[in-house]
Structure 1
């Protein structure tokens, strides 16, 4: 009689153990994917910051060129 309940419980415990093993594997995969996504987001942020610096530099150069053009136009308008 005492063997009968354990015969019923053991398959259930084995199934639970197998499910836990599968969950551990799935969790490891999800962690790797999350790490990869985190690194990708960091790279995008770095690229975006670099783009902002490049744009700011281009705007400064454009402003300087506009100032020089305005000075030349002023000199041309006022004559020699």
Structure 2
């Protein structure tokens, strides 16, 4: 069995440290990407909400037009 020396432990620890640093950098990158995705999803949700609002206004206008043309009975 190989003798365990301080130099061998140092080399192993340096490798572990390098791997931990790389992993930390990857996690930071993933956090940035997740924040970008979150921002885009929020924008999409707002856009969909605006579309629903716009469609609601169009529905109201169509309802008024139908009543004016006598296509439906006015709601009371």
Alignment TM-score, normalising by the size of structure 1: 0.81
| Corresponding residue for residue 11 of structure 1 | 11
State the match for 1:20 in structure 2: 20
Structure 1 SS opposite 2:64: helix
Runs of 4+ in 1 over 6 A off after TM superposition: none
Q: Deviations over 1:22-67 (max 9, x none)?
A: 0111011000000000000100010010000000000000000000
Higher RCO (C-alpha 8 Å, min separation 6):
2
**Larger helix fraction of residues:** 1
Give unmatched runs, 5+ long, in structure 2.
72-76
Once residues 31 and 49 of structure 1 are traced to their aligned partners in structure 2, the CA distance between those partners, rounded to angstroms, is 27
Tell me the residue number matched to 2:41. Answer: 41
Please identify the structure whose Cα radius of gyration is greater.
1
- 1:21 & 1:7 partners in 2: Cα distance? 21
Tell me what 1:59 maps to.
Answer: 59
**Cα distance between partner residues in 2 of 1:23 and 1:64:** 61
| Counterparts of 1:22 and 1:62, CA distance in 2 | 59
Provide the TM-score with structure 2 as the length reference.
0.85
Number of aligned pairs?
A: 68
